[in-house]
Structures are given as C-alpha cells and as structure tokens.
Structure 1
Amino acid sequence: MNISQVVQEEFSQVPVIDISALVSRKGDRLKVASQIGQACRQSGFFYIVGHGVDEGLQQRLEQLSRQFFAQDLETKLEIRMALAGKAWRGYFPVGDELTSGKPDLKEGIYFGAELAADHPLVKAQTPMHGSNLFPSNIPLFRETVLEYMEAMTQLGHKLMAGIALSLGLEEFYFAERYTSDPLTLFRIFNYPPDLSPLEGDNRWGVGEHTDYGVLTILKQDESGGLQVKSKSGWIAAPPIPGSFVCNIGDMLDRMTGGLYRSTPHRVQNLSRRDRLSFPFFFDPNFDVEVQPIPLNEVAIADDYQERWDGASVHEFRGTYGDYVLSKVSKVFPELQRTVL
C-alpha cells in the first residue's frame, strides 16, 4: 500500500453534481463517480440534481408535515416516542433532543423501516426496529412517508454504487458487504424561528455534529440555515430548487481511513418562520461489523482532536448497531433505558 497523509481541503461552497447517469445507468457514470469522490475528499458534502425523485411526492410530504406541526402539542404527543419503546420512533417536542448535551431548538418525528411484529428482528427485540407511529387524523400521512422512504432507499443504493466507483471498487461493494439490508432512518424536523437571539448566545436548531452512518440525503425547505464546517470557517449550504444535499457519515470516514471525511455541520434558523428539514439516513446493516477498506494511497489521518466530540471513529470496534446505539442514547437520555 502506498501511504499518504490525508488532509481535508479548505472549501468555500458545496458542489452541485448531476447524478442522472447513475440513476438511469446511461451516460458517463465514472465521470459522476469522480465528481462525487472529489466532493467527499474536499468537503464531505455535495448537492445532487437529476436524482429522479418525484417532485409531487416531495410537495405532498412537505404539505402534510406542515399540517402535523401546526397542531397543538397535546395532539402531537399522541405519537410521542415513549409509546414506540425499542423501535425508537415517534414525535418529540422542542428541546427534548440533545446535541453534545445541549437542547436543540427543534421538534420532530422519527421513522424507520416499517417492520411487522412477526419480523425476526422485531421478535428478537432488536433496538431501532419495529413499526412506525403515524398521526391518525392526517389522511395519507403514512402512505406518503413510506413512499418517500422507499424512494430514498433506492436513491441511497444508487449513490452508494457511485461512491464505490469513486473509490475504484466494484459498484456493488457496499451492497454486498454493508447495505444489503440497510438501516434506514428518516426524520422530519421542524425548526421554530429564533426570534430573540441573544448577543453572544449561540442558540442552535441543531448544534455542531457529524452523522453516524455512511450517507445522508437531505431535503430542506426554502428557509436556509444549514452550515458546513470548512478549515476556514462555517460555509452556508442554502437550498437549491430540485436538489438534495448529501453528506457522508462516520462509518464511511472509518471505512476509507479518513480519505472521505464526515464533516461537522449545524443549523440555525434565522428566517423568522418555521423551517422544515427531511434528513434520510442510509446506514450499514445493524449487525454488520464495519471494517476499513483496503485502498491504495490512503492512511488514517485521525482528526479526533479537531472533532466536535473529541472521539475517534477509527478506533471504534464493533457492529454498526453498537456504534449507533452509543450515539443515540446520548440524544434522548430519558429514553436510553427503554431502547438499550
């Protein structure tokens, strides 16, 4: 193996990549893969267009989500997370989710793959597996969320094929080893406007963090507020019509020895209106052990001293389930006993 030190570059904006060749399997897929690879090396973030996800479906999802969050708290709490037990699903109110121990200025609903009670993983009481909680008073909410999650899952497989090609691997490298049965997690977040920011007081919709798995696909509304950390400071990642924002997570950072870096990001809603965000997490199988990929010209450039949490993703040993449970147990401390 040729050893080279990996240093994340400074960047001033998040690139936009047309992935239509990956989606249609026509055209220059290797060119698209090369663009994805460059973005993963430079910033860990990229916009995608040409993704083929139905615009009408996205609009229905946003409309129904606004309808849900416009309800009173008592009604929203009818699908509160405590009711889902180990499945880790449902609604949480503003301030209940923590990032680095600090309450986030957001509310939201957690979803995952819809699994019946007789599914082997559910019968085994595997954490983060089970059925979802949906509002019974909003027609088509359940159907729309599940349809969107299926579209995101298929898109995730296509993007991971592109990431594999960008690393000089067979396109099904990740599907065969890590994502044949991906842990798919979907969130709908509502960030209330921060109407009274105090001088010197950082009130974050969500504070600085990295994502846990391999790939996040984010739909954001028109409000803006997403920021990505560069060597030179924080860079805005504003909404671009018809696009999704993608970023890589800790496990891809670990697999690539730091070549593809999971980049810290945060959100502050200064738009003076509610901000909707729809992150979809396409992650490794729950019970798979995450291993480094044997790549040329790569050496671990461990950035734990620079990371927001001071943790090293490269020293981690175990399954992805072990890793994600160690993280989410800190996000909702009051639910930790139920899930674990």
Structure 2
Amino acid sequence: MKHTGAAMAHPPVIDVSALVDARASQAGKLGAARAIDAAAREWGFFYAQHHGVDAALVDRVVSQARAFFALDEVRKLRIPMSAGGLAWRGYFPAGGELTSGRPDWKEGLYLGSELGPDHPRVRAGVILHGPNLWPDLPGFRETVLAYLDAMSALGQALMRGCALGLGVPESYFAEHDTADPLLLLRFFNYPTRAAPENLDVQWGVGEHTDYGLLTMLWQDDAGGLQVRTDTGWVDAPPIPGTFVCNIGDMLDRMTGGRWRSASHRVAVNTSGRDRLSIPLFFDPDFDTVIAPVPGAGPGQDDSGRRWDGANLQSFRGTYGEYVTAKVGKVFPGLKASLRRE
C-alpha cells in the first residue's frame, strides 16, 4: 500500500486486489481496508488499482462513449432527458447541467440500471428508476449493461473494504444499504471549443460533493479533475489502469464525519481535444434510512468546511429523500416540466 501523507501530490493509489479476489487472505483484505480508511479520512479520495474490471470491457465502453459524442447534435437529441421522464435518463447538450446554479461546460448522457415497466418502483413513478434511452449504435446497450454489472461488483467489493476499514463486518453495507444499490452511470464529454459568453461558464464542473456512498471514475488522459484539501486544491491526474474513487455525502454522514465527502471540480477543458469521463455512482438503496455505522458518533456540525454551507451531519431520512432534493437543482427546467405532468 502506498502511504498517505500531506506531502503527497495527489490522492493515494491503493491496491484493492485482495477485496475483489475471493481467494485473498484476510490479512490482504485488512491491509487494503486500512489504506482505504486512511485515504477516506485525509482525502476523501483514492485511486483503486488492480480492481479486476476487464480492461477490454473498459475499452469497449470508452469506444461506445466516444462514438456517441461524435454523433451530430440532431442524432444525440433523439434521446433527450425530457423523454426519460422520472427515470432521469438521456442526453443533455453542453451547458445544460447546472452546479450551484451555474452552467457546467460539458455534455452528457445519463444512464443507470435497466428497469422495465413492471418493476414496482417504475410502476409507482419513483424518480431515478426506469428504462434507459439507448442511442442507435451497434453494441451500445450490451456494452453498457455489462459495464454496469462489472462496476456494481467492484462497488460491492470496495464497500466490503470500507466496512472492514470502519471496524464492522465486511457484509455490513450489503446487509443494510446496498443489497439493491442505486446505480447511476454518466458519460461526460468536455468540449475543447469555448463556451458562449452568455452562459457565464467558469468550470467544466463547478465545486460540489457527490450524494451517495462511493463514486468510481474512469477518466481519459486530458486531465482537469481537482480535489479540495485543507491546504488548497490538488490535481487528481489520470493514472492508467485505475479508477478514481471518492466518498459521497451519505458515507460521510454514516461515519459521523470520520470519512470526508471532499469537494471536487473539473477545470474547463483547454487540452486541445475533447475530454471524456465516465463516473459510476454506487449509492444506497433508494429506501435506505441513513443511520450511523456502529461505533460512529452522531457527527458535529460540518457546515463550516462544506462548499454549500450545509450541515450534512444533521440529515435525517432516506437516501431517496436526500438525492431527490439534490437532482432537481441540477436540471431545474426538467424538474418543473415533470411537476406539471
């Protein structure tokens, strides 16, 4: 394991092979778990190395994402988010997503677990549940669904490591929060072209924290991701063969602030070529009542260190309630149109 320390230039790289290999020793699992605990305390971020996700599958997903963004705007807008309804799926053009009320300079495709019309939550009209809107590209659907399965398995493995790092049984999260995780997959393209002046764009993505448990990010070699630390902003550069992982708000809340949901942002792309990133948000089951992990305190008011000035430790309720309040701020126009239906 690589040592975490204030002098490090970026979040630590952690070998997680013991967490994904069923034959690994308990000592190996505990070593990875301790490294995750240290990184989550100090950074709220780490790189997962030797994660077991097939490199050929990752390459296929990347190729499909690039093929989609290479389509002309008319073809991409055949599957707009307005057509996804409550499932909150589909495409939005550059400048169409907001962070803290300001447009981000990226375009994106929202995807997630494929749920048919007979699924109880789809029938009930629960937000963030439903079918995906698939572009007309050969192999796209099959590749994305295979990637979702692989990343869900990695998420469960990393959460076993998180549990051990917190001193609870490795099955804790699977038994309490992630038996049926909410999986949200995003394809983001950061254009190299400049944003129109009327949009008042400052960032590819403005400062924010993620909502759920754990984010697992593939990023290309263009760079731009930055993490906020106690001493300032630090780059989280691409490292081949890794996923950048970060702690979400709910895991911060569950640990009483022991682990940090760290602010991060993405600079406007000036690399001279479009930048691609693919985050997978591994979140609690929608109906999970958020509760502290055994041994965690209630947490103290953390509004002074948070980007939004909110006291995360005061949250009471289900993950569905938390995430529903958040997503409407990202696409306020879509939220308003759904409310009228």
Give the TM-score band, short-chain normalised: over 0.9
Structure 1 distance, partners of 2:278, 2:309, is 27
Q: Deviations over 1:208-266 (max 9, x none)?
A: 00000010000001111100001111100111010000001000000000000100000
Letter in 1 for 2:116: A
Asked whether the 8 Å contact 2:292–2:298 carries over to 1, the reply is: no
From the superposition, tell whether residues 228 and 21 of structure 1 become closer, same or farther in structure 2 (CA, over 3 Å): same
- Which residue does the alignment assign to 1:160? 159
CA distances 1:299-330 after superposition (whole Å, capped 9, x unpaired): 62432122111111111111100000100000
Identity across the alignment (%): 57
Q: How many residues align structurally?
A: 329
- Aligned counterparts, 1:1-340, within 5 A: 12-25=9-22, 26-27=24-25, 28-136=28-136, 138-193=137-192, 195=194, 203-268=202-267, 269-295=269-295, 298=297, 300-339=299-338
User: Mind listing any 5+ residue stretches in structure 1 that lack a counterpart?
Assistant: 1-7
Q: Does the 8 A contact of 2:183 with 2:280 survive in 1?
A: yes
Aligned AA (1:329): G
Amino acid at match of 1:40: A
CA distance in 1, matches of 2:319, 2:87: 16
How many Å apart are 1:282 and its aligned residue?
0.4
Q: Which amino acid aligns with 1:22?
A: L
Distance verdict in 2 for CA 1:72–1:194, change over 3 Å: closer
Following superposition, the deviation at residue 109 of structure 1 comes to 0.4
When residues 125 and 196 of structure 1 are mapped into structure 2, their CA distance, relative to the original with a 3 A threshold, is closer
Shift in Å at residue 197 of structure 1? 11
Asked which structure has the greater RCO (Cα within 8 Å, sep 6+), the reply is 1
Runs of at least 5 residues in structure 2 that lack an aligned partner in the other structure: none
Q: Which amino acid in 2 is paired with 1:98?
A: L
Q: Which residue of 2 aligns with 1:3?
A: none
Distance (whole Å) between structure 2 residues aligned to residue 120 and residue 57 of structure 1: 31
Shift of 1:76: 0.4
1:12 to partner: Cα distance: 4.0
Q: 1:253 to 1:339 in 2, by over 3 A?
A: farther
What is the rounded CA distance, in whole Å, between the counterparts of 2:15 and 2:301 in structure 1?
Answer: 31
Residue 193 (structure 1) shift:
1.9
In 1, distance between residues paired with 2:201 and 2:221?
22
Q: Distance in 2 between matches of 1:330 and 1:193?
A: 26
Inter-partner Cα distance in structure 1 for 2:73 and 2:184? 24
TM normalised by structure 1 equals 0.93
Q: Residue deviations 1:125-151, cap 9 Å, x none?
A: 111100000112x10011111111110
User: Which AA in structure 2 matches 1:94?
Assistant: A
Letter in 2 for 1:192: P
Compared with structure 1, are the counterparts of its residues 265 and 311 closer, same or farther at alpha carbon in structure 2 (3 Å cutoff)? Answer: same
What is the one-letter code of the residue matched to 2:286? F
Structure 1 CA distance for aligned equivalents of residues 257 and 270 of structure 2: 33
Seen in structure 2, the aligned counterparts of structure 1 residues 244 and 339 have a Cα distance that, compared at 3 Å, is farther
**CA deviation map 1:287-308 (0-9, x unaligned):** 1110122326x56243212211
Q: Any conservation in 2 of the 1:89–1:111 contact (CA below 8 Å)? A: yes
Instruction: Report the CA distance shift for 1:295/1:185 in structure 2 as closer, same or farther (over 3 A).
Output: same
